[in-house]
Amino acid sequence: PLVAVIVVAAGSGTRLGHELPKAFVPLSGRTLLERSLDSVFGMRDASQVIVVAPEDRLDEARAIATERAGAAGGYLDVVPGGNSRQASVERGLAVLRPDVDTVLVHDAARALTPSTLCDAVVAAVRASGAGVVPGLDLVDSIKRVDPRGTVLAGVDRRELSAVQTPQGFPRRMLVAAFAAATEELTDDAALVTAAGFPVSIIPGDPLAFKITTPWDLRRAELLLATPAD
Ligand code: C5P
């Protein structure tokens, strides 16, 4: 049974304030896509890697991925993205090889994600037969607010988890959840949960944070400049 990883890299990156699509923005000399693929190809066990890229950058994405796939072996596909993250994941699901039984979905924007987190998600999906997402405890207090900014109520943060990617699922659950989807949700686990399948949390990694704003990019640059101990 094979593991496939769908890397979604087709976003525009408007919030990053860059003219390049987000996955092609450089971070200390290498693009977010190069860095996130380094971590995917560093996994123990990724037999099919599917890169979902902007329509007009397929060749560039293929060159970046092929260079990294070389040593790792396995199957590589590069497909054009859709108008939403969810549509982009769906394009990736369409090219899964028949012998794949576990699927990870990963944001290229989480460029510093360690390979070990990806391996931990695969192991947990295999052990549980359910969906698995990495999550971190919240440190801030959380408020529910109305559109004018008036605080309605506090939310107990002990009941919450800030979830990251890669998110992993038994193939049949993820495919069924996408087939049943009736609205756009912001992550894959939300669709799988809505379809009635179990999903559990494993400890996330602070390095798997999503690079969304210029501040995030700065934080990533600083982390790369600081040798880990
Ligand atoms: O926009 P957001 O931060 O949710 O994007 C998360 C990931 O989904 C990014 O890696 C982005 O490239 C990808 N994405 C995509 N296709 C879209 C929108 C986002 O592949 N249409």
pTM of the model: 0.96
CA nearest ligand 1 atom 6, residue = 107
CA of 88 relative to ligand 1 center, distance in Å: 8
CA nearest ligand 1 atom 19, residue = 11
DSSP 4-71: EEEEE-----GGGT-SS-GGGSEETTEEHHHHHHHHHHTSS--SEEEEEE-GGGHHHHHHHHHHHHHH
Residue-wise pLDDT for 178-189, tens only, equals: 999 999 998 999
CA of 100 relative to ligand 1 center, distance in Å: 23
CA of 33 relative to ligand 1 center, distance in Å: 12
Residue-wise pLDDT for 140-196, tens only, equals: 999 999 999 999 988 999 999 999 999 999 999 999 999 999 999 989 999 999 999
Residue 22 has pLDDT above 90, yes or no: yes
Among 64, 88, 91, residue to substitute to test ligand 1 (most atoms within 8 Å of Cβ): 88
ipTM of predicted complex: 0.97
DSSP the chain: -EEEEEEE-----GGGT-SS-GGGSEETTEEHHHHHHHHHHTSS--SEEEEEE-GGGHHHHHHHHHHHHHHH-SEEEEEE--SSHHHHHHHHHTT--TTEEEEEEEETT-TT--HHHHHHHHHHHHHHSSEEEEEE---S-EEEE-TT--EEEEE-GGG--EE-S-EEEEHHHHHHHHHH--S--SSHHHHHHHTT--EEEEE--GGG----SHHHHHHHHHHHHS---
Could you give the domains of the chain? 2-132+163-224 (3.90.550.10)
CA of 107 relative to ligand 1 center, distance in Å: 7
Q: Would you say the CB of residue 22 lies under 6 angstroms from ligand 1?
A: yes
Residue 1 has pLDDT above 80, yes or no: no
Q: Would you say the CB of residue 84 lies under 6 angstroms from ligand 1?
A: yes
Residue-wise pLDDT for 72-91, tens only, equals: 678 999 999 999 999 999 99
- Give the model's confidence band at 16: pLDDT under 50 very low, under 70 low, under 90 confident, else very high: confident
What's the pLDDT score for residue 225? Answer: 95
Q: Would you say the CB of residue 81 lies under 6 angstroms from ligand 1?
A: yes
Residue-wise pLDDT for 122-138, tens only, equals: 999 999 999 999 999 99
What's the pLDDT score for residue 113? Answer: 98
CA of 135 relative to ligand 1 center, distance in Å: 19
Q: Would you say the CB of residue 193 lies under 6 angstroms from ligand 1?
A: no
